[in-house]
């Protein structure tokens, strides 16, 4: 069972999670016309009165950008304000995943975005490691990532996750932990809910934003970190055969953080993963506010626990 945070934000107010329910006729449920964010909220290991949100502004911007595709004007500042209050209301005690969701909330029939009410809710749940930080096995999916010409890939649109779901289930049911999806050009794209990186000859390589990948916030953070650490970074198309002989491969995402890949189908990857490990340690230290250089990436919310 999931361990949900007690308070949700729903229809413009904070209510008990169990009371935040929608109708079976909700438009978004039928047409996949929703968009979401996924963020981690972690108790500050050094201050029990604070909850840490990693790159809050970026997450709010991406959700606001996704809402635009639904013809819903939801400013990033407004999302941020609600998320901070959401954390203050819930005072989470363990690492959580926060799910803000925008959607067509009207009850009408017909796939469209005009003349349909829109709304926004937020809920959260306790979440430990989504993938093992020690390494995962992957297969190439028989399902391909959508193309930007038929799907707004710069939004995190709920309908896209049918492809992720098909790919993840196919991978798990055939004995792997995760799926690697190709794009329509047959180039390596991303995993079911993570971006992908490989290391070859000391270079950190990831598919560019023109390769139909999601604009991952962890991806962006890793590219900045690697540059700062003096690791050469290249954004370009990756062939399947290159990935199979890479020195290191890892997946990145808010839920998964950095998950090293130890095997792709029948190709074992080297067990030594120096660059992956370095980035993994750095990213965890930053999200826990243990790294002074990246403090502006961490938004601390005071929850007033000591005054309870």
Alpha carbon dihedral 32, 20, 41, 156, in 10-degree steps, equals 10
Tell whether residue 34 is a contact of ligand PMP (CB under 6 A): no
**Which range binds ligand PMP by CB under 6 A, 71-79, 209-217, 267-275, 276-284?**
209-217
Report how far residue 41's alpha carbon sits from residue 127's, in angstroms, rounded to the nearest whole number: 10
We find the least distance from the C-beta atom of residue 193 to ligand PMP, in angstroms, to be 4
User: Which residue among 63, 83, 136, 214 contacts ligand PMP (CB under 6 A)?
Assistant: 214
Asked if 124 is part of the footprint of ligand PMP (rule: CB under 6 A), the reply reads no
Q: Which of 285, 183, 273, 283 is nearest to 237 (CA)?
A: 183
Contacts of 179 (CB under 8 A, 6+ apart): 138, 139, 140, 141, 143, 167, 168, 170, 171, 191, 192
**Total of chain residues touching ligand PMP, rule CB under 6 A:** 14
Smallest separation (angstroms) from ligand PMP to the CB of 253: 4
257 binds ligand PMP (CB under 6 A): no
Q: Which of 161, 142, 236 is nearest to 197 (CA)?
A: 236
Written in H, E and C, the secondary structure of 216-259 is CHHHHHHHHHHHHCCCCEEECCCCHHHHHCCCEEEEEECCCEEE
Question: Which pair of tokens denotes residue 279?
Answer: 């980035």
Sequence-distant (6+) residues with CB within 8 A of 106 are 26, 27, 116, 117
Asked if 212 interacts with ligand PMP (CB under 6 A), we say: no
Q: Which of residues 144-183 bind ligand PMP (CB under 6 A)?
A: 164
Among 60, 74, 179, 217, binds ligand PMP (CB under 6 A): 217
The answer to whether residue 207 forms part of the interface with ligand PMP (CB under 6 A) is: no
Shortest gap between Cβ of 224 and ligand PMP (angstroms)?
13
Question: Where does this chain touch ligand PMP (CB under 6 A) — which range of 15-23, 27-35, 127-135, 211-219?
Answer: 211-219
Q: Does 253 bind ligand PMP (CB under 6 A)?
A: yes
Q: Could you report how far apart the first and last alpha carbons of the chain are, in Å?
A: 28
Q: Per CB under 6 A, does 38 bind ligand PMP?
A: yes
Q: Is 66 within 8 Å of 281 (Cβ atoms)?
A: no
Q: Does 249 bind ligand PMP (CB under 6 A)?
A: no
Interaction between residue 194 and ligand PMP (CB under 6 A): yes
Among 218, 276, 280, 287, binds ligand PMP (CB under 6 A): 218
Q: Which residues bind ligand PMP (CB under 6 A)?
A: 38, 164, 190, 193-195, 214, 216-219, 252-254
């Amino acid at each position: 069972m999931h361990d949900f945070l007690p308070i949700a934000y729903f229809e413009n107010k904070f209510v008990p999670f169990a009371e935040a329910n929608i109708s079976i006729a909700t438009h978004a449920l039928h047409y996949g016309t929703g968009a979401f964010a996924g963020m981690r909220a972690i108790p500050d290991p050094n201050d029990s009165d604070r909850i840490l949100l990693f790159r809050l502004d970026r997450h709010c911007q991406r959700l606001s950008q996704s809402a635009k595709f639904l013809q819903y004007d939801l400013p990033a500042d407004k999302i941020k304000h609600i998320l901070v209050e959401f954390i203050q209301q819930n005072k989470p005690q363990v690492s959580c995943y926060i799910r803000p969701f925008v959607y067509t909330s009207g009850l009408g029939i017909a796939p469209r975005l005009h003349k349909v009410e829109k709304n926004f809710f937020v809920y959260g749940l306790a979440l430990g490691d989504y993938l093992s930080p020690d390494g995962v096995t992957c297969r190439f999916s028989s399902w391909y990532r959508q193309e930007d010409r038929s799907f707004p890939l710069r939004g995190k649109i709920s309908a896209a996750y049918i492809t992720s779901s098909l790919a993840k289930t196919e991978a798990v049911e055939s004995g792997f932990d995760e799926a690697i999806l190709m794009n329509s050009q047959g180039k390596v794209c991303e995993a079911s809910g993570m971006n992908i990186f490989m290391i070859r000859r000391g270079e950190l390589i990831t598919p560019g934003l023109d390769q139909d990948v999601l604009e991952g916030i962890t991806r962006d953070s890793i590219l900045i970190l690697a540059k700062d650490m003096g690791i050469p970074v290249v954004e370009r198309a990756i062939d399947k055969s290159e990935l199979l002989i890479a020195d290191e491969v890892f997946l990145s995402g808010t839920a998964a953080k950095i998950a090293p890949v130890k095997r792709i189908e029948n190709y074992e990857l080297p067990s030594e993963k120096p660059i992956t490990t370095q980035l993994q340690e750095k990213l965890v230290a930053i999200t826990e506010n243990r790294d002074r250089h990246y403090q502006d990436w961490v938004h601390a919310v005071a929850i007033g626990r000591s005054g309870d």
